[in-house]
Structure 1
Amino acid sequence: MSNSTDDLQYGSLRLDRTGQAEAFDMIGDRYDEAFPHKEGQIAAAQWLIESLPAGARVLDVGCGTGLPTARQLTDAGMEVVGIDLSDGMITLAREHVPAARFHRMDIADLGGGGSGDLGRFDAVTAFFALLMLPRAEIALALRTIHRLLVPGGLFALSMVEADVDYFRIPFLGGHIRVSGYLREELRELVEAARFEVVDESSCAYAPASSDVQPEEHLFLRCRRLD
């Protein structure tokens, strides 16, 4: 296998999702209770709303319970499609946001690792979703998102700032594995996937949970380059 991420394809990787979806199935509604304040995420979705025409198609990657993003976008007249690996999250999202369409789906299914075909989108959101992947797959996911967008399409991304690669951490009574980057590395990775970063912000966030430490949230607002 080449050392260049440009040469990586989903078919050349062993996808490991062991325990990731199951952890969120167990969490259920407690997820929104543990992360009640999402001002940065709401502001990033509002940027999409203000930048897109009514009826624009938006893909919400790692949609979770559908709150707040899918609801915020559908309330603004967007056509929203959400994907998530967790059956429990998808069930809750369908209850919370009946106007959107939700699919239990891996982003790899949209990038050559499966038969998923949801069409093209005017915008994509990935709020704390790509951090659930190993670093090698994050590069692939960004390229997949680029292909899913129409020319000039918008991309709102958030990650936790951390220099880790699929590191196991305690999470709401269970464990998950997460990846992260320092902010300059994340920006370089996104730009290498042919996105223009039009705005960047960050905020410190302390979840309402005793086993999760305060963390720095990074938000990138991007536009697809052709």
Structure 2
Amino acid sequence: MTNGNTGLDHYASIRLDRTGQAEAFDAIGDHYDEAFPHKEGQVSAGEWLIGSLQAGARVLDLGCGTGVPTARQLTDAGFEVVGIDLSGGMVELAQEYVPGATFHQLDLADLRPGGPRDLGRFDAVAAFFSLLMLPRAEIPLALLTVRHLLAPGGLFILSMVEADVDDFSIPFLGNTIRVSGYLKEDLRKVIESGGFEIVKESSYTFAPAATDVPPEEQVFLCCRRRD
């Protein structure tokens, strides 16, 4: 398995471009939950996590957004929840909506092995529609970081939108964001190559309430860290 120093070398070899990403979600704010009111796949994956963890487990909500539904769902289940998001506006909303959790305005890259922030280790990490905000070249590094954050045998739940795109600009709720995606088989290979066993998979065809966001195929993977 790749060691931490090599991971840092890999991070140093690419340019981390977040231009406009946080600002877009600062502007979107509560409108995100209005545009995506039904999150059955996300809630279902959260239920799988709840049923798989011991009481009091420590969980990281990566790209927590407003904290709804995941941070709230996991906090209500009695877990110690820490959420991070690049958007300060989203972090403020999450602190308001889920006061029982702890939130930080951070980039996942800040938590890389040997990186500038250390939040400790977690029994599970949830990454719903957050990895798709990264260019493909960075996603293996993000998975390295997730694996680093997990305790041995830790659980990882994630979702992506099925699409063969890399750092592609799209209109999104009146703003522009850049997204990446994979076809399902390619996504499986990327996750497994990152050191995870896929335990459960599901997908949903989702039509957002917003008019400028097209219907999408959402893929949810429930995984375990391979040791």
Q: Cα distance 1:119–1:6, how it changes in 2: closer, same or farther (>3 A)?
A: closer
Q: Which residue of 1 aligns with 2:40?
A: 39
**Normalising by structure 2, what TM-score?**
0.95
* Aligned-residue offset at 1:53: 1.0
Tell me which amino acid in the other structure corresponds to 1:94: Q
Q: Which residue of 1 aligns with 2:82?
A: 81
- Matched residue SS, 1:49: helix
Rounded to whole Å, the distance in 2 between the matches of 1:114 and 1:189 is 23
Tell me which amino acid in the other structure corresponds to 1:69: T
Q: Cα distance 1:114–1:7, how it changes in 2: closer, same or farther (>3 A)?
A: closer
Give the unaligned 5+ runs of structure 1.
Answer: none
Rounded to whole Å, the distance in 2 between the matches of 1:39 and 1:102 is 24
Q: Which residue of 2 aligns with 1:55?
A: 56
Percent of paired sites with the same residue:
71
What are the within-5 Å matches in structure 2 for residues 1-226 of structure 1?
A: 9-112=10-113, 114-226=115-227
- Matched residue SS, 1:33: helix
Give the unaligned 5+ runs of structure 2.
Answer: 1-5
Corresponding residue pairs, total: 222
Tell me which amino acid in the other structure corresponds to 1:146: R
Over 4 Å off, 4+ runs? 5-8
Q: Is the 8 A contact 2:204 2:219 kept in 1?
A: yes
Rounded to whole Å, the distance in 2 between the matches of 1:108 and 1:122 is 19
Rounded to whole Å, the distance in 2 between the matches of 1:8 and 1:192 is 18
* Structural RMSD (CA): 1.4
1:119-139 deviation digits (Å, cap 9, x = unpaired): 000000000000000001111
Rounded to whole Å, the distance in 2 between the matches of 1:221 and 1:96 is 26
Q: Is the 8 A contact 1:204 1:216 kept in 2?
A: yes
Tell me which amino acid in the other structure corresponds to 1:135: R
Tell me which amino acid in the other structure corresponds to 2:88: D
* Aligned-residue offset at 1:114: 3.8
